[in-house]
Structure 1
Amino acid sequence: MPTVHPNYIKASKIVLLQLVIALVNFFLYYNDMHARHKNYAPIAMIVVFGIVIYLLRIGINWVKYFFLVGFAFVNGKPANWAAMFTHGPLKIIWAITGMCISIWVLWLLFTIPNQQASNKKSPDYPGPGIV
């Protein structure tokens, strides 16, 4: 079994922390949500975060791009920023904490060296075609 880079393990633990923060945020502002979102939103959060955590834990490389697109989609909309500032300072603190955690996870995931690049720089790797 190939070894998983330690940054994947750290990132999966941090995403678990982010899930806890998202669920706390959800239940703090439960009354502000529309009735159609109240039933499936926490289940969807747990399922999506659980899949991402599992894929990070086993070291799947493309998850970092999925996480980057999700981060840009959620935090890139001006409507989300406007809605965040209408709920008071606690909502702002929770949102900024979640963004900082996401940036931390992205930094961990994108600082993992590429496998081929790390093999070519290794002194034990003689290069292609050399026996």
Structure 2
Amino acid sequence: MQKAGATRLREFYRRHNVRSAECIEQRVALLARARPLCTDRALLSPAALELARLVDLLETGARHITAYDQAIAEAFAVHPKATLFATLPGAGPVLAPRLLTLFGERLERYPDAASLQKYAGVAPVCERSQGRV
């Protein structure tokens, strides 16, 4: 991080939504004073290899998630009930397909909100247990 320089660090923090100039300056100053905990190459070399492996896994996972997102968006766009779910208040491109999946194609299964709550297991329970006194 020290090799990146103060200007690049400030730019990084701004790009990642750190808006407080004071906070950015504190972080830049902290990083300027930072010292490595370990300089032993026998420990650092394998750790660097492991880090590279993990970054590769994250990048691969991100590509697959993007492919899933694209497939979901395409399938949702051509579904006959997509408009119904896409126009629900607060249902954007992520929530609308999930709602369609939750309800399914047979909306008559849930004639009212209570029936969906019961199916999902979140309906309020009005019965009380009969305890001994």
Q: Same fold (TM over 0.5)?
A: no
TM score, norm. by length of structure 2: 0.28
Larger Rg: 2
TM score, norm. by length of structure 1: 0.28
Structure with the larger RCO, 1 or 2 (CA within 8 Å, 6+ apart): 1
